[in-house]
Amino acid sequence: MEGMADNGSVPLKVGVNDKLRIIYLDGHLKYLLKAMKKAYYVWSFLDDFEWDSGYTARFGLTYVDFKNNLTRHLKDSAFWYKRDDYRDYADFCFQEFGDRVKYWITLNEPNLFSSRGYASGIYAPGRCSNYIGNCSRGNSATEPYLVTHHLILSHAYAVKLYRDKYQFLISNFFFFLDFNFKTSQKGIVGITVDCRWQVPKFQTVSSRKAAFRALDFEFGWVVHPMTNGDYPKTMRCLVGNRLPNFTNEESILIKGTLDFVGLNYYTSLYADDATSYSSVFLSYTTDSHVNDTAEKNGIPIGELAGGNWLYMYPKGIREFVLYVKRKYSGLPIYITENGMADNNNNSLPIDEALDDDLRIKYHHLHLSYLLQAIKVGADVRGYSIWSVMDDFEWNSGYTLRFGLTYVDYKNGLKRYLKKSAFWFKNFLQMENATTDSSLLVSS
Q: What does the pLDDT average to over 58-76?
A: 53
Q: How confident is the model at residue 443 (pLDDT cuts 50, 70, 90)?
A: very low
Q: From its phi and psi, is residue 29 left (phi > 0), alpha (psi between -120 and 50) or beta? A: beta
Residue 287 reports pLDDT greater than 70: yes
pLDDT of residue 160: 97
Is residue 283 in some structural domain? yes
* The one-letter amino acid at 172: N
pLDDT of residue 141: 98
pLDDT of residue 23: 40
Q: What range does the domain containing 214 cover?
A: 40-64+77-170+182-429
pLDDT of residue 162: 95
CA–CA separation, 134 vs 40, rounded Å? 42
CA–CA separation, 67 vs 123, rounded Å? 12
Is residue 155 in some structural domain? yes
* The one-letter amino acid at 404: L
Q: How far apart are the first and last CA of the chain?
A: 37
Where is average pLDDT lowest: 168-182, 218-232, 278-292, 327-341? Answer: 168-182
198: domain CATH number is 3.20.20.80
CA–CA separation, 23 vs 20, rounded Å? 10
Q: What does the pLDDT average to over 266-272?
A: 99
pLDDT of residue 431: 60
Give start and end residues of each alpha helix (H) in 50-109.
Answer: 64-74, 83-97
Q: HSE, CB side, 13 Å, CA atoms: give it for residue 258.
A: 25
pLDDT of residue 440: 36
**Burial environment of residue 412 by CB neighbours within 10 A (0 to 12, 13 to 18, 19 or more):** exposed
Point out the residues that are catalytic.
337
Q: How confident is the model at residue 13 (pLDDT cuts 50, 70, 90)?
A: low
Q: How confident is the model at residue 30 (pLDDT cuts 50, 70, 90)?
A: very low
Is residue 391 in some structural domain? yes
Whether this model's pTM surpasses 0.75: yes
Is residue 440 in some structural domain? no
CA–CA separation, 183 vs 165, rounded Å? 11
Other C-beta atoms lying within 10 Å of the C-beta of residue 180: 9
Q: Is the dihedral of CA 267, 273, 275, 279 positive or negative?
A: positive
Is residue 279 in some structural domain? yes
Q: What does the pLDDT average to over 338-357?
A: 96
Between residues 224 and 92, the one the model is more confident about: 224
CA–CA separation, 25 vs 76, rounded Å? 15
pLDDT of residue 15: 53
Domain count, the chain: 1
Please report how the helices 419-429 and 357-375 are oriented relative to each other, as an axis angle in degrees rounded to 10.
30
pLDDT of residue 377: 97
Between residues 61 and 116, the one the model is more confident about: 116
